Structure 1
Amino acid sequence: MSESFEGRRVLVVSANYAPEHAGVAPYSTGIAEHLADRGARVDVLAAMPHYPAWRVHDDYRGRWRMVEWRGGVRVHRRRGFVPARQTAARRAAYELSFLAHGSLRPPAGRPDVVLSQVPSLAGGLLGGRIARRHGVPHIVVMQDLMGAAAAQSGIRGGGRAAALAAGAEARVLRSAALVGVVHESFTDRVTAAGVSPARIRVVPNWTHARSPSGERRAARARLGWAEGECVLLHAGNMGLKQGLEVLIDTARLAASRTPRTRIVLMGDGSRRAHLATLAADVPNVDLLPPAADAEFADVLAAADVLVVTQRASVLDMSLPSKLTSYFASGRPVVASVAPTGGTADEVRRSGAGVVVRPEDPEALYGAARALAEDPGRAAALGARGPAYVRERLSRQAGLGRMTALLAEAMAGQAPAVGLSDG
């Protein structure tokens, strides 16, 4: 990471930013603060913190716009519509409100480069407009593919919205100097949108979780997990695309067959209340709030199996950011996901887990029980995770890829392609 950013001005456009601690925010925050540490003057255009609960954090309620300093970065907040329930129409209103407010009052001054983090499609549009206005390079990093997300996530009205989202997304991508994708499985859709492969770079996310303390027994006792109890843990967003109902059904199977199996869903999201209702009569399901950052790694390591789930329709729209933390924990992963999608590819490549059919509680239960009954295999899978993180997903490697992307765009000084805003 030898690139110098001394005296450079960088604008990061990301609806999600610290103090949000899940999803895209840790990566937007990590790169912005890293660039500031390297001498850049960094501004961030962001929404008011609201994810994953999909409600504005208490400290920011009632604010319309504001500027705050975090970690040497100047963060420009813009208020927008935050839907408690997810439908295609509500998501469109969320995007349009951020786009409108960000367009009315963008950060002042001419940046040397603009970096947009998408899953906010509005963020990509805003970044492109600002870059074109100043004639500077625009880099888009695709954390999620929004056209595919509308079609695959199960959001109400998503099928009708998919074509519109894909069209806007293609416009953003084609106008960018460089496009980063967090997984190779995104590449085909990006090229299909009209982007030359020569302008695409793979920039995997890095693990931002701390290493476990090693006090696993103490962590389990603190959480109320008994010795000899097999704990399956899902940690992260509780949204539509996760299809977490399969875990409630898996818990019902376990309750009748192996009562000392506990299913834990830890996190927040638009489907949390729905899942709580489904689990009301299931004795071996616990719903926990998100763990504090200082405790998160120890909670993951205290589980016996870490679970990632997705609806069967989710193929190539996203890569769960939780995987980087899962791998770092040293526990085996069971992925209940489409076998041909990017998530399945990543779990297989890591060697740290197994893939089973999505939305199939029998398959998920069977995989978890097989690991519980073969502790040697579970330990071997778990050990591969930290090794994979060291090889591919370290913070140093991730930030190095991102700074190289920015340096390449600025060295070429390729401005955003001149498409009109109309």
Structure 2
Amino acid sequence: MVSTNYAPEHTGIGPYATQLAEHWAARGADIHVLAGMPHYPSWRLDPDYAGRWRARESRGGVTVHRRRHTVPARQTALRRALFEASLLCHQLAAPPRMPRPHAVVAQLPSLAGAVAAARIAHRHRVPFVPVVQDLMGAAAAQSGISGGDKAAAVAARAERYALGRAALVGVIHDTFRPRVEALGVDPSRIRLVPNWSHVERPSRPRGETRARLGWPEGRQVVLHSGNMGLKQGLEVLVDAARLDPEVDFVLMGDGNQRTALEERARSVPNLRFLPAAETADFPDVLAAADVLAVTQRASVLDMSVPSKLTSYFAAGRPVLASVAAEGGTADEVRRSGAGVLVPPEDPAALLNAVRELAADPGAADRLGARGPAYVDERLSRAAGLGRLDDLLAEVLDRGTTVHEGVRRT
């Protein structure tokens, strides 16, 4: 498996790659993972890996090969290009030393990982199976980063190269299908493999956790957990907090926009920033909030489903989605029945939804209760991993090589 993000990273794509690799290892497979150095979501190199150019370690029965790369503290098209280029060059120059694999699986993004995985599969003449968690070409064009249009064109070419060499392509949501097909992938080679809820259920009383965090019982707490990047458009939460000092807002996590958000919130006393919770404590912190927020900029064409959403559902609290009405996030919120939708980048609409939930606690509890039920029905870990088992089994049963997959298209 090639996945730039991997444990100990505990948000974003990392947990899915880790749990999948460890699942296959537990079933007796010899799993090797080519990964980057831990850096997400803070976009700062994990101090435990400082000064290391390469590392080989064992985690959960999986052999992890790490390669050094740049870690841009600020996102620009050039810095992101250097990040991807450094990943690709180091991964191709020093591939893992391992027996010949039966298949190569990749998690997209990153672009570098996808291209490196395709090249490794080509070298060994074995099937290449990418799983599309997001598409960088579309994301770059919508990111607001300077040079985004040029970056999008380069990213799309890299995605076309990698996906065109796949035996089968997994996508985590149906909204990706048109984009993947537009990159030249035959529809018959696309398989739906939704993500799962990768966190445990809450285990402590809400009141106990709220008291420990200093959240008064009499105040409504709106929590956003996860990456603080450009795509999320978290300014809407800062501005909503400014509109009503009686509602508390909490931004938990890190990202390249955290400093700018802290500056914007300097005069907003009812907005707090917290570091990411420890893995064991994370479900209880989510469950202690009154409302769990997911936000995106209005310009974002939302195809993916943020990893935080599956965790939110498991926490049993109502989800408030400030996102475009058409897209993966809105689809999942509607399908789950576990939350409400408001227009993106509209702090007044977001605040009105928070007030309506506060005014009817029973309705809010009913919305929240639908989240765990939806997880049990559609987003269980066993179901998610089973779908990826089926994807890999289909490829291996076909005996399809990279070259055969290309010829079929």
Decide: shared fold, TM above 0.5.
yes
Q: Which residue in the other structure is 1:391 paired with?
A: 377
Find the aligned partners of 2:277 and 2:215 in 1 and give their Cα distance. 15
Q: Which residue in the other structure is 2:296 paired with?
A: 310
Match of 1:84 among 73, 80, 99: 73
User: Are the counterparts in 2 of residues 174 and 417 from structure 1 also a CA contact under 8 Å?
Assistant: no
Q: Which residue in the other structure is 1:328 paired with?
A: 314
Match of 1:111 among 95, 101, 107: 101
Structure 2 matches for 1:250-261, cutoff 5 A? Answer: 250-255=240-245, 259=246, 261=247
Letter in 1 for 2:243: L
Letter in 1 for 2:158: A
- The superposition leaves residues 233-288 of structure 1 with CA deviations (integer Å, 9 ceiling, x where unpaired) of 00001111000011000000112xxx2x1000000111111111111110100000
Q: Which residue in the other structure is 2:51 paired with?
A: 62
User: Are the counterparts in 2 of residues 152 and 313 from structure 1 also a CA contact under 8 Å?
Assistant: yes
1:362 equivalent to 2:362? Answer: no
Find the aligned partners of 2:244 and 2:394 in 1 and give their Cα distance. 52
Q: Which residue in the other structure is 1:171 paired with?
A: 161
Match of 1:16 among 5, 17, 20: 5
User: Are the counterparts in 2 of residues 64 and 79 from structure 1 also a CA contact under 8 Å?
Assistant: yes
Q: Report deviation, 1:213.
A: 1.1
Change (3 A) 1:89 1:82: same
Q: Which residue in the other structure is 1:47 paired with?
A: 36
Normalising by structure 2, we get a TM-score of 0.97
Which one is further off, 162-171 or 330-339?
162-171
User: Are the counterparts in 2 of residues 324 and 393 from structure 1 also a CA contact under 8 Å?
Assistant: yes
Q: Report deviation, 1:113.
A: 0.3
User: Are the counterparts in 2 of residues 314 and 341 from structure 1 also a CA contact under 8 Å?
Assistant: no
User: Are the counterparts in 2 of residues 179 and 201 from structure 1 also a CA contact under 8 Å?
Assistant: yes
1:300 equivalent to 2:290? Answer: no
Q: Which residue in the other structure is 1:4 paired with?
A: none
- The superposition leaves residues 307-339 of structure 1 with CA deviations (integer Å, 9 ceiling, x where unpaired) of 000011112343210000000000000000011
Letter in 1 for 2:63: R
Q: Which residue in the other structure is 1:124 paired with?
A: 114
Change (3 A) 1:195 1:214: same
Counterpart secondary structure, 1:50: coil
Find the aligned partners of 1:391 and 1:94 in 2 and give their Cα distance. 39
| Fraction of identical pairs, as percent | 64
Structure 2 matches for 1:131-142, cutoff 5 A? Answer: 131-142=121-132
Find the aligned partners of 1:404 and 1:316 in 2 and give their Cα distance. 27
User: Are the counterparts in 1 of residues 175 and 304 from structure 2 also a CA contact under 8 Å?
Assistant: no
Q: Which residue in the other structure is 1:154 paired with?
A: 144
Q: Which residue in the other structure is 1:96 paired with?
A: 85
Q: Which residue in the other structure is 1:277 paired with?
A: 263
Find the aligned partners of 1:248 and 1:401 in 2 and give their Cα distance. 39
User: Are the counterparts in 2 of residues 66 and 77 from structure 1 also a CA contact under 8 Å?
Assistant: yes
Letter in 1 for 2:210: R
Letter in 1 for 2:226: G
User: Are the counterparts in 2 of residues 186 and 316 from structure 1 also a CA contact under 8 Å?
Assistant: no
Counterpart secondary structure, 1:294: coil
Compute the RMSD of aligned alpha carbons.
Answer: 1.0
User: Are the counterparts in 2 of residues 315 and 342 from structure 1 also a CA contact under 8 Å?
Assistant: no
Find the aligned partners of 2:332 and 2:135 in 1 and give their Cα distance. 17
1:380 equivalent to 2:369? Answer: no
Q: Which residue in the other structure is 2:228 paired with?
A: 238
Counterpart secondary structure, 1:76: strand
Which one is further off, 261-270 or 145-154?
145-154
User: Are the counterparts in 2 of residues 148 and 316 from structure 1 also a CA contact under 8 Å?
Assistant: no
Which one is further off, 390-399 or 151-160?
151-160
Counterpart secondary structure, 2:73: coil
Counterpart secondary structure, 1:264: strand
Match of 1:143 among 108, 116, 133: 133
Find the aligned partners of 1:318 and 1:152 in 2 and give their Cα distance. 13
User: Are the counterparts in 2 of residues 152 and 317 from structure 1 also a CA contact under 8 Å?
Assistant: no
Find the aligned partners of 1:372 and 1:199 in 2 and give their Cα distance. 46
Match of 1:227 among 210, 217, 227: 217
Find the aligned partners of 2:5 and 2:145 in 1 and give their Cα distance. 20
User: Are the counterparts in 1 of residues 302 and 324 from structure 2 also a CA contact under 8 Å?
Assistant: no
**Structure 2 unaligned spans of 5+:** none
Normalising by structure 1, we get a TM-score of 0.94
Q: Report deviation, 1:153.
A: 2.1
Q: Report deviation, 1:214.
A: 4.1
- The superposition leaves residues 98-121 of structure 1 with CA deviations (integer Å, 9 ceiling, x where unpaired) of 000000010123110000001101
Count of residue correspondences: 404
Q: Report deviation, 1:156.
A: 2.2
1:206 equivalent to 2:196? Answer: yes
Find the aligned partners of 2:217 and 2:93 in 1 and give their Cα distance. 57
Find the aligned partners of 1:200 and 1:188 in 2 and give their Cα distance. 10
User: Are the counterparts in 1 of residues 77 and 146 from structure 2 also a CA contact under 8 Å?
Assistant: yes
Letter in 2 for 1:48: M
Counterpart secondary structure, 1:13: coil
